[in-house]
Amino acid sequence: MTNPYGQPQQPYGGQPQQPYGQQQPYPQSGATPAQPYPQQPYGQPAPYGQPGFGGAPGGDLSAIKDYKGWAIGCIFLMWILAIFAIMKSNEVQTYKMQGNYAMAQQASQTTKTLCLIATILGALGWVVAIILIIVGLTAASEVHSYYCTGRYC
């Protein structure tokens, strides 16, 4: 069968079909008839920047931060958000172990955002508390006590 340009049409995949009973030669890169493509050892990166299982091209899972220390430190600033940040930090580790680059990156960004919000709100809360303590101590030192010495106290 020919295409409109007069060239013979190739089947899907671009490889010409071999007559029945003849086998195509396999590349010399370790492939066998049972495995037409060479297999990568478990845990090894895919060659030529190709994505591995659940990964992204060129992604380095060890470069993704989990912000666990920051999340634990936020307990003293805003403990409610800190708990969620710690949970998201644990998800980062889980996704990194699974090799899921996209989800690990997303969980890392969420952890960073939660920690940043907890730090800002917690710092503002501590500043307001210190100001209120100073104002309270200053107001308490100006209270005068009067002793009744006269007839009408």
Mean pLDDT of 3-22: 60
Stated pTM of the model? 0.53
Burial of 149 (0-12, 13-18, 19+ CB in 10 A): exposed
CA distances from 76 to 37, 45, 65, 97, 114 (A): 54, 40, 21, 29, 14
Coil, helix or strand at residue 2:
strand
pLDDT mean across residues, the chain: 76
How large is the greatest C-alpha to C-alpha distance in the chain, in angstroms? 127
110 assigned to some structural domain: yes
Which structural domain, as residue segments, surrounds residue 119?
64-141
pLDDT value, residue 85: 93
pLDDT band at 139 (very low <50, low <70, confident <90, very high): confident
18 assigned to some structural domain: no
Number of domains in the chain: 1
Query: Do residues 63 and 92 lie in contact, with contact meaning Cβ atoms separated by under 8 Å?
Result: no
100 assigned to some structural domain: yes
